[in-house]
Amino acid sequence: MAINSGKFLRVNLSTGQTMTESVPHQVAIDFIGGRGYGIKYLYQELDANVDPLGEDNKLIILNGPLAGTSTQATSRWMVITKSPLTGSFARSVGGADFGAWLKFVGYEFIIIEGKADRPVYLHLSREGCQIHDAGDLWGKDTKETQKTLKDEHGGNTRMVCIGPAGEKLVRYAAIVSDRRTAGRCGTGAVMGSKNLKAIAATATRTLELFDETAYAQLSKQQATLIMENKGFQNHREWGTTRTQNITNNLGIYPVLNFRYGQQVGHEKITGEEYRRLRTGEFGCYSCPARCGKAHRVETGSYSGAYSEGPEYETIWAFTGSVDSTSIEATVAADELCDDLGLDTISAGACIGFAYELYEKGILTKADTDGLELKYGNHAAMVTLVKKIALREGIGDLLAEGTMRAAASIGKGSEVCAIHVKGLELPAYEPRGSKTQGFNYATASIGASHCFGYSGQDVFGAVVPRPSDRFAEEENADLVIYNQNGTAWKETGINCTFSAGWGWVDSLFGKLLTAARGIDQFSDNDYLWKVGERILNLERAFNVREGFGRKEDTLPQRMLTEPLHTREAPGEGQIVRNQDKFLDNYYWLRGWTKAGFPSPEKLKELGLDFVLNDMNVEQ
């Protein structure tokens, strides 16, 4: 019998009932944990077509099987739900300590159901779960909220919470822990819709492992491999604050709302320039990388701004989107997003969308509360961040995301809404990194770079093979490799960056076996199969919600407008063969031409329980 195979907490906020349950052993074998448990329970417990912001949606917050142990980069946490931005499956990942603390109080995950009749927060300890009034916390930002709860429950407390953006149901509100966020897909809005302000866990460190001796030995091996790995050393030095050096040179740094792939003046926003403002480092539980690089602005109009970031995506969101090279403005905008609880990627993309509409005259000062949204105006950008989080003025429209905002505005604005399935694109231009682009098009959650990151296109990675970044249908196998690989690694909610630190392939499975006592986990072929199982179940969830081939598309701009790259290569690139790509991708996945998992594939993966739900016209 496995040890540590999973207890979880179910909290019904409508009734106030809480219950501890156990994950069945076969589910532990089939899905391992983390993202696997998340989609398994979301699929089986959610009816189709529930309102993402209604009482019937469920919010699942998970850690991984290795969370809280001595291994490094394995203690992150994840949120699984139905997204209010896309209406599809949502998964978003956060850092800091909460994943470990959730394990210390004895849980692999929490399922939150229903809706409280007033603002509340949960307090978890080894003694159980209590629901507390959060009336005094409602309206507070994430910094104040966390300080208040720490003062209340003591130093051995870690938490996740929402800020005002989540309370106001901004469709891309984040859930925040310390200064790390589960940013994407609007999970903070789902939490806000349930009147749930925070979940705090108070505990001392305690763990049960199947084979503690074996685990300790493997953990030492992991530490040695990581410390000797050059990728780790580089990540410890820079975090992701240098990625824009590469993407600008490749011509894939999206500028002016994805019309250009290189920013004029990009030499002013390099990692080296950010380093001038660096004041410290911070990191996640049991991780020596400390890749969060803190920056403080000492002079100028943003003097006093301090952020434990920005990292690459946020640097882009608040430079390329509005054609600004103000590092200081990115620090200020990042700080606001963390305080107010906003996804920086969607926030920056929505602001970039508004700037283009202003340029085209579709929005005027009469629509923007008097703000002049001219490219380069970073002060207006910072103002907009706050307006979005508080749903003030034009911020109320932009808080809906680009897809809904464009539908509301009309006047041809749809072509400027750069999203997949409603989720705004991140900081890699699809026309210059097409493996990455087609990952966006086919990801279960919409346009996420982390869903199946193409290191082959961006960094020249050679595993499983190098890519031609301008090739299209020829790279369907790479998209699948990247997506399935990410899925099985996220059963552990391992830090995605640590996949490049030389330990995952050789040790992750063995660590799972030592932790759980399930021998299959030591077989990497089995892990890949679990990754495929997860992807197919997520796809089935989306099919049940009405998604299919027509939603697997890049924005119109990528299919019809040539990319401009200035001095970088790739000028004139366009996505020409999306249909051929999809044909090949579906065929390799064992899906129908409509993009539905075939009965044979579902049976092969042990997902027979899905078959009836796939009984839709194909």
Question: What distance in Å separates the CA atoms of residue 600 and residue 595, rounded to the nearest whole number?
Answer: 14
Q: Single out the residue of 246, 362, 390, 559 in contact with other proteins (rule: CB under 8 A).
A: 246
Residue number, 215 or 312, with CB nearest to other proteins: 312
Question: Whole-angstrom Cα distance, residue 595 to residue 245?
Answer: 37
Q: How far is the CB of 550 from other proteins (least distance, A)?
A: 29
CA 49/CA 60 separation, integer angstroms = 18
Per CB under 8 A, which region of 71-79, 149-157, 360-368, 457-465 contacts other proteins?
Answer: 457-465
Task: Give the nearer residue to other proteins in terms of CB position, either 248 or 383.
Answer: 248
Question: From the CB of 234, what's the least distance to other proteins, in Å?
Answer: 5
Q: Which of 463, 588, 594, 616 binds other proteins (CB under 8 A)?
A: 463
Q: Which is nearer to other proteins, 236 or 259 (CB)?
A: 236
> Among candidates 97, 73, 96, which has minimal Cα distance to 205?
97
Residue 449 found at the interface with other proteins (CB under 8 A): yes
Q: Which is nearer to other proteins, 57 or 475 (CB)?
A: 475
Q: SS3 sequence, 581-594?
A: HHHHHHHHHCECCC
Nearer CB in complex with other proteins: 7/242:
242
- Smallest distance from other proteins to CB 262, Å: 11
CB contact at 8 A, 404 and 346: no
Q: How many positions of this chain bind other proteins (CB under 8 A)?
A: 40
The one-letter amino acid code at 337 reads: C
Phi, psi of 342 (to 5 degrees): -125, 145
Sign of the four-CA dihedral 187, 189, 195, 198 = positive
Contact between 524 and other proteins per CB under 8 A: no
Q: Is the dihedral of CA 524, 526, 532, 534 positive or negative?
A: negative
Binding test (CB under 8 A) with other proteins, winner from 393, 455, 517, 599: 455
321 binds other proteins (CB under 8 A): no
Q: Which of 291, 288, 327 is nearest to 308 (CA)?
A: 291
Q: Applying CB under 8 A, does 447 fall inside the site for other proteins?
A: no
Distances, alpha carbon 284 to alpha carbons 53, 60, 169, in Å: 30, 21, 28
Establish if 569 lies at the interface with other proteins (CB under 8 A): yes
DSSP assignment letter at 447: S
Question: Which residue lies nearer to other proteins by CB, 271 or 555?
Answer: 271
Closest CA to 123 of 9, 3, 220: 9
Q: Which x/- pattern over 371-410 shows residues binding other proteins (rule: CB under 8 A)?
A: ----------------------------------------
- Is 290 a binder of other proteins (CB under 8 A)? no
Q: 148 or 573, CB closer to other proteins?
A: 573
Tell me which stretch binds other proteins (CB under 8 A): 147-155, 237-245, 323-331, 508-516. Answer: 237-245
On the CB side of 484, CA atoms within 13 Å amount to 21
Which DSSP symbol is given to 507? I
What are the C-alpha distances in Å from 604 to residues 382, 529, 536, 540?
51, 10, 11, 14
User: Does 424 help bind other proteins (rule: CB under 8 A)?
Assistant: no
Q: Considering the rule CB under 8 A, would residue 362 count as an interface residue with other proteins?
A: no
Residues 80, 88: Cα–Cα separation, whole Å: 11
Taking CB under 8 A as the rule, does residue 459 contact other proteins?
Answer: yes
Applying CB under 8 A, among 496, 522, 524, 577 the residue interacting with other proteins is 496
| The token pair that represents 231 in the structure block | 């990728």
Cβ 309 to other proteins shortest distance, Å: 11
Distances from the Cα of 194 to the Cα of 49, 53, 162, angstroms: 18, 8, 11
Name the 3-class secondary structure at 68: coil
Q: Are 315 and 309 in contact (CB under 8 A)?
A: no
Distance between first and last Cα of the chain = 42
Whether 458 and 467 have beta carbons less than 8 Å apart is answered as no
Q: How many residues does the chain have?
A: 618
Q: Judged by CB under 8 A, which of 126, 147, 205, 230 binds other proteins? A: 230
Residue 569 C-beta: closest distance to other proteins, Å: 4
Bridge-based pairing state of the strands 109-113 and 7-12: parallel
Per rule CB under 8 A, is residue 225 in the interface with other proteins? no
Q: Does 472 bind other proteins (CB under 8 A)?
A: no
| Closest distance of CB 459 from other proteins, Å | 4
Measured from the CB atom, the residue of 346 and 553 that comes closer to other proteins is 346
According to CB under 8 A, which one of 221, 229, 522, 598 is a site residue for other proteins?
Answer: 229
**What is the contact surface with other proteins in residues (CB under 8 A)?**
228-231, 233-235, 237-238, 240, 242-243, 246, 249-250, 311-313, 316, 427, 449-450, 453, 455, 457-463, 466, 469, 496-497, 499-500, 502, 568-569
